[in-house]
Structure 1
Amino acid sequence: MPRSSLPKGVHRVRRKTVEGFRYHFYAWRGGPKFWTDTVREPRDPKFLIAFADAIKARHSADYMTPQMVDDFLDSTAMPKAERTQADYKKWALRFADEFVDDPAKLWENPKSRGELNEWRAKWKNSPKQHDYAGTVAVRILNWARDEGKIAAHYCDRLHRIYSVDRAEIVWTEADQKAFKDAAPSWVKRVMTLACETGLRPADLVRLTRGNLESFDGIDRFRVRTQKRGRVAHIPVTPELRQLIDETPADQLVLLVNDRSKPLRPTSASRAITRYRDRIADKLSDPTLRLQDTRGTAATRLLRAGLGLNQIANHMGWSLRYAAAVIEHYAAVSPAESAEVLDLLKREKQRREDKTVNAIVNVPDGAKRGES
């Protein structure tokens, strides 16, 4: 039976249940559900009666939660990063499916906060998923409020149950050596590139020779980071130069797997985890992961004499974020922690003094706004 045989405007969704596949029928996309069946094209006369009853009540106030979700997914409020977009879509559709029969005006009721908390409690045994469900739902509701789709909502600042403090978890030089002694060459390259650049996995796997440029006689990578959209300028260290020179001329990206295929961000992270587990007893922390190399890179650069502004520039961070990351990852060891924190304190003081001097040296006329 062709799709066009359904009444015009009917929106059909197939969902898998323990009993098998079921079809849910909505009066319109984002509208109320009026029928559920095991067949794709219902022929029961009651189907048409139910549809007619559903569309009778349609008016401008019947803006349903699934329609609000669809509008959000089609809006410019969606995050730009491809991976984040996929995550948002997954959780947004789960949110829409849970509240499929509820109008968007539900969220203008204070009691809706409890309903949202009850929904995300399904993932209470997975704190990260529990919190992410709330994050996406609130993002949708904030957008709907800003766009005038709803007058208000009561779901801001939901409680979070996931917390992690990795301030003491950094790939030390000993950790890196132990890892590289146990890992194959293609995984070693992932570790080297991560520790030398401080880039996230999504940016690491995109690096090519095309990102290289020369500035004032210094080779560097120029990368626009996916998460923040900042331009990072990363100097080519001797370790990076060796990695680049060892890359086959016909290989487009710098990182490939054991079959010479480009890596995905998740594949790069899993590779580090897989070989880390084989030498967990030799590491300073058995939970070390690829993302922990970012702090390693930041503290290395500070010890090398780079200022916060330089670190922030070539990592694609704000100054405040660069300082926070360095403080977060400073504790490589008690001695190195004190050294790094002292360097960071002096760098902050230098910047504060520079700002004060700039204010003091402003001409009196300029301070008063005189021309």
Structure 2
Amino acid sequence: MSKTALPKGIHRVKKATAAGVVRYHYVCRGGPKFWDSNSQVVEGSLAYLAAYRQANTSAAEAARTHRANEMLTPDAMDEYRRSIHYRKLNARTKADYEKYMTNFEAEFAEDPIKLFEEEESLAEIIAWQNQWAHSPRMYDYSTQVIRRFLNRMRKSGVIKRHFFHDIEAVYRVNRAHLCWKPEEIAAVLKVATPAEMRIVVAMSEGGLAPADVGRLNRGHIEKTPKARRLLLDRGKSGQPTAIAATPAIEDLIDTMDDDQWLIVPALSGGRLTPERAAQIVRDLIHRANADGVIRVRPELRPYDMRGTAATALLRAGCGLNEIAVAMGWSIRHASKMIEHYARLIPEVTDEILEKLERAKASANVFDGDDKDV
């Protein structure tokens, strides 16, 4: 093999000895020696290249070990942020992650990442998590974020192991039985201002979560062969969602001002945040219960309107696959949500279940693979 085919970066040194000049080859300047001219190996031969590769691998491993031994937790967190596994997350998820990541690196700012190879570090992480003991949901989310970070450090070779796995979740909730009744939605609409009504309609008719309502804008409006629809990617999951323009949704679009970009703006006219949307619904529940004869259950949340919207689509003749696309659900989940709603509203149980069974048969929901849409 010619010298032109040799690896780049080899550091060559000549030394005069009593027996003559001896040539030494190193993987790089300051790196390990892998060949000298006194050896029986011919320069450029397959054996020469094999010796280079072995020495280069050993040098790289030594460099990684040294780097890991010297790396502090904030440096490791920055490396995680540069990884494809973090960069591929959507903007909303990154923002959620950062709340815990920046807090974690501040807590362990002076500690080497190697600390988490020790079993005792588990107690230190749990002690850090206790700042969210008041919120089981936030506590579990911190578990998810830090476990993924440490898993990535282990898989990339920065640490050899960690003990922050098999952590039992503390947040348990089943809201499947909670679904807005038609009269409850009517009650909050009765006490709502026009701006507040737009929020309730987008959630109850479009099945939108608080995180997506404030994102709706003119760019999401699409013409269809017969009418219009709203087409957007859900902010949290990135799943495409097509919302049919029901008469109420049509009214949202048609009553926009000419210079209005957001379909459902905040009450002040700016961008509606998820937290504010949820608070507005809570306020409406309180006002409806104070002024009306129909009691709205205070435990209801905006997200619970999604089952109502899905069932309305079924009653309008949509198939399960169409409902799944509109809601950003799997077909199986759409089916379960509608069944829960049917149990909640006795007067429409027979009608809903009959249509649901026909929709299941048409979609073959229990026969094939159920994919998220």
Q: Same fold per TM (> 0.5)?
A: yes
- The offset of 1:191, in angstroms, is 0.3
> For residue 66 of structure 1, what is the amino acid of its counterpart?
P
194, 209, 213: which one aligns with 1:204: 213
| Residue 162 (structure 1) aligns with | 171
152, 156, 159: which one aligns with 2:161: 152
Residues 299 and 66 (structure 1 numbering): CA distance in 2 closer, same or farther, change over 3 Å? same
- The offset of 1:86, in angstroms, is 2.1
Residues 322 and 145 (structure 1 numbering): CA distance in 2 closer, same or farther, change over 3 Å? farther
Does residue 351 (structure 1) correspond to residue 366 (structure 2)? The answer is no
Number of matched residues?
299
Does residue 73 (structure 1) correspond to residue 81 (structure 2)? The answer is yes
- The offset of 1:116, in angstroms, is 2.3
Does residue 89 (structure 1) correspond to residue 98 (structure 2)? The answer is yes
Distance (whole Å) between structure 2 residues aligned to residue 221 and residue 159 of structure 1: 40
Give yes or no for contact 2:204–2:308 (8 Å, CA) kept in 1: yes
54, 61, 70: which one aligns with 2:69: 61
The 3-state SS of whatever aligns with 1:306 is coil
The 3-state SS of whatever aligns with 1:152 is coil
Residues 275 and 157 (structure 1 numbering): CA distance in 2 closer, same or farther, change over 3 Å? same
- The offset of 1:186, in angstroms, is 0.4
The 3-state SS of whatever aligns with 1:61 is helix
Residues 353 and 316 (structure 1 numbering): CA distance in 2 closer, same or farther, change over 3 Å? closer
Structure 1, unaligned runs of 5 or more: 1-57, 357-371
Q: How is 1:105-184 mapped onto 2 (pairs within 5 angstroms)? A: 105-184=114-193
Distance (whole Å) between structure 2 residues aligned to residue 144 and residue 176 of structure 1: 48
Residues 355 and 170 (structure 1 numbering): CA distance in 2 closer, same or farther, change over 3 Å? closer
> For residue 113 of structure 1, what is the amino acid of its counterpart?
L
TM-score by length of 1: 0.72
Residues 263 and 355 (structure 1 numbering): CA distance in 2 closer, same or farther, change over 3 Å? same
Distance (whole Å) between structure 2 residues aligned to residue 112 and residue 340 of structure 1: 53
| Residue 45 (structure 1) aligns with | none
For residues 296-345 of structure 1, give each alpha carbon's deviation from its aligned partner in whole angstroms, at most 9, with x where no partner exists: 21222223222221112222333344345445655433454565456445
> For residue 98 of structure 1, what is the amino acid of its counterpart?
E
Give yes or no for contact 1:166–1:329 (8 Å, CA) kept in 2: no
Identity of aligned residues (%): 35
For residues 151-208 of structure 1, give each alpha carbon's deviation from its aligned partner in whole angstroms, at most 9, with x where no partner exists: 2323223112222221222121101111011111101110001111112222221212
The 3-state SS of whatever aligns with 1:213 is strand
| Residue 278 (structure 1) aligns with | 287
Distance (whole Å) between structure 1 residues aligned to residue 346 and residue 273 of structure 2: 36
Does residue 256 (structure 1) correspond to residue 261 (structure 2)? The answer is no
Distance (whole Å) between structure 2 residues aligned to residue 340 and residue 312 of structure 1: 16
Q: How is 1:288-299 mapped onto 2 (pairs within 5 angstroms)? A: 288-299=300-311
Distance (whole Å) between structure 2 residues aligned to residue 148 and residue 328 of structure 1: 47
200, 218, 225: which one aligns with 2:234: 225
Whichever of the two has the greater Rg, that structure is 2
Distance (whole Å) between structure 2 residues aligned to residue 287 and residue 75 of structure 1: 41
User: What RMSD over aligned residues (CA atoms) do the two structures have, in Å?
Assistant: 2.6
Residues 166 and 338 (structure 1 numbering): CA distance in 2 closer, same or farther, change over 3 Å? farther
Residues 330 and 122 (structure 1 numbering): CA distance in 2 closer, same or farther, change over 3 Å? farther
Distance (whole Å) between structure 2 residues aligned to residue 123 and residue 67 of structure 1: 25
> For residue 283 of structure 1, what is the amino acid of its counterpart?
R
Distance (whole Å) between structure 2 residues aligned to residue 228 and residue 127 of structure 1: 22
| Residue 14 (structure 2) aligns with | none
Residues 127 and 229 (structure 1 numbering): CA distance in 2 closer, same or farther, change over 3 Å? same
Q: Which moved more, 1:266-275 or 1:279-288?
A: 279-288
Distance (whole Å) between structure 1 residues aligned to residue 99 and residue 222 of structure 2: 38
> For residue 70 of structure 1, what is the amino acid of its counterpart?
D
Give yes or no for contact 2:132–2:138 (8 Å, CA) kept in 1: yes
Give yes or no for contact 1:167–1:331 (8 Å, CA) kept in 2: no
